[in-house]
Amino acid sequence: MRQELNYLKETPSQTAGPYVHIGLAPGAAGFDIYRQELGWDIAGPNARGERIRVEGCVIDGMGSPIKDVLLEAWQANAEGIYAHPEHDGEVEEGFRGWGRVITDFDTGEWGFDTVKPGPVTNADGRVMAPHISLWIVARGINVGLQTRLYFEDEADANAADPVIGLIEWERRRQTLIARRSERDGKPVYRFDIKLQGQDETVFFDI
Amino acid sequence: MKPGPLYQRDRQWHPPALTPDYKTSVSRSPQYSMISLETTVSEITGPVFGHNDIDPIDKDLLSNYAKPGESPIGERIILHGRVLDENARPIPNTLVEIWQANAGGRYRHKKDTYLAPIDPNFGGCGRTISDADGYYHFRTVKPGAYPWRNWVNNWRPAHIHMSIFGTAFAQRLITQCYFEGDPLIAKCPIVNSIPDPQAVEQLTARLDLNATIPLDTIAYKFDIVVRGRRSILFENRPEGN
């Protein structure tokens, strides 16, 4: 009789459904219940670095913006340090690096304010270009989708990034690059996420 | 020995992206292959929450939206269990958030138009942080089944949506907890997006009489498992893979 390995299985995922806001953003569902909702201030008031805005849409296979999607963002600070005990280094007081993002229910547009992250050194010593990790859930998405946002104005770092380098096709690499413009003197990065089609965004099996 | 990358996610245990019987998945499922990425520091880290972020009442859905002296209508239940990883180690201090319909199957959401009434004493959301042993518990009412537009006549089994963080962004998980004995479980296209019947069993909470409060509240037990992490036993390739 062979021995048993006795690992547990990961709890299987199910869709977040159309009413995800009740649990994760009840104000958007239409009621006030918690002292504070979580994830609305990613960088906090003391974060160093360039203040930026990120905006976009998540677009379905019909070309329509998804209005009931919820995203979460996870990023390092401007020095490339994550607010997490397993990452060496200090972050600014109030910097969490995590945010929760919902859409305008009428248009599907979403956006958030943060600071631009710095390059991050991985455990293997290789440097990753500045990026924001995104996790996307909605009705019709059975397992949360994971992708990364990189910055247009970091072309050299992007070219050397080991994760972008895993993507064989230049056209697909471009789906991870947020386009920079300025509004009222503040940098705005546009990052549309396409779930299907020729320009389908790269998603990672992490 | 130090913790390393996460175990690979078993994509055959989870539902695939495209599950045509759940119609909304058809236009929302990526069609190209995902790019496989061994977890980097960006994915083995994740947000940390503390008791300053939430309040003790947040985990009590019987009282967190009820008027003083009143409580929501429905079967009073305790939902409890542990957050573990695939190595069966408890995950302490992790945020667990839930949301659900009321006992009549109606959500308190501006987009829900089902004719069952809103319960004035029930918000339908709760959150807590697991204790040092990974243990969590909520008090709520058992949600009702409700109809939804998929086929002409689909009914969701009673379920509570659950959101779990773990300690790493790549452990992030949303799922749904069902209740044993519900005949709608087997008929639901969302449940049946999961290919393995054993995996559906894992989403089915068990009646737990030992955890009930006699003459007061019945109990269901639901353990949550997030991805485990490899231990780095040999650093054969310290300069990168």
Q: Does the residue B233 lie in any domain?
A: no
pLDDT digits (tens, 9 = 90+) for B113-167: 999 999 999 999 999 999 999 999 999 999 999 999 999 999 999 999 999 999 9
Q: How confident is the model at residue B231 (pLDDT cuts 50, 70, 90)?
A: confident
What pLDDT score was predicted for residue B102?
A: 98
What pLDDT score was predicted for residue B237?
A: 56
Q: Does the residue B11 lie in any domain?
A: no
pLDDT digits (tens, 9 = 90+) for A114-164: 999 999 999 889 999 999 999 999 999 999 999 999 999 999 999 999 999
Interface test mutation site (partner A, options B11, B19, B32, max chain A beta carbons within 10 A): B32
Q: Does the residue B111 lie in any domain?
A: yes
Which one of the listed residues B76, B80, B139, B156 is annotated catalytic?
Answer: B156
The verdict on whether B11 is a catalytic residue reads no
pLDDT digits (tens, 9 = 90+) for B84-120: 999 999 999 999 999 999 999 999 999 999 999 999 9
pLDDT tens for the 206 residues of chain A, in order: 899 999 999 999 999 999 999 999 999 999 999 999 999 999 999 999 999 999 999 999 999 999 999 999 999 999 999 999 888 889 999 999 999 999 999 999 999 999 999 999 998 899 999 999 999 999 999 999 999 999 999 999 999 999 999 999 999 999 999 999 999 999 999 999 999 999 999 999 99
Interchain contact, A12 vs B54, CB within 8 Å? no
The verdict on whether B80 is a catalytic residue reads no
Q: Does the residue B239 lie in any domain?
A: no
Q: Taking CB atoms and an 8 Å cutoff, what residues of chain A touch B96?
A: none
Least CB–CB distance from B228: residue in A7, A15, A133: A7
Q: Taking CB atoms and an 8 Å cutoff, what residues of chain A touch B204?
A: none
Q: Taking CB atoms and an 8 Å cutoff, what residues of chain A touch B227?
A: 10
Least CB–CB distance from A60: residue in B28, B98, B161: B28
Is the per-residue pLDDT at B240 higher than 70? Answer: no
Which one of the listed residues B14, B137, B161, B172 is annotated catalytic?
Answer: B161
What pLDDT score was predicted for residue A1?
A: 85
Q: Does the residue B230 lie in any domain?
A: no
Average pLDDT of every residue of chain B: 95
Mean pLDDT, rounded, for B25-51: 96
What pLDDT score was predicted for residue A147?
A: 98
What pLDDT score was predicted for residue B4?
A: 81
Q: A19's torsion region: left (phi>0), alpha (psi -120 to 50) or beta?
A: alpha
The verdict on whether B161 is a catalytic residue reads yes
The verdict on whether B178 is a catalytic residue reads no
Interface predicted TM-score (ipTM) over 0.90: yes
CA-to-CA dists, residue B147 to A22, B104, B106, B156, B157, angstroms: 18, 11, 10, 6, 9
Q: Which domains does chain A have, with CATH numbers?
A: 16-194 (2.60.130.10)
Q: Structural domain tally of chain B? A: 1
What pLDDT score was predicted for residue B239?
A: 47
Domain extent for B63: 50-90+100-225
Q: Does the residue B232 lie in any domain?
A: no
pLDDT digits (tens, 9 = 90+) for B60-86: 999 999 999 999 999 999 999 999 999
Q: What CATH number corresponds to the domain at position B55?
A: 2.60.130.10
Interchain contact, B32 vs A172, CB within 8 Å? yes
Is the per-residue pLDDT at B3 higher than 70? Answer: no
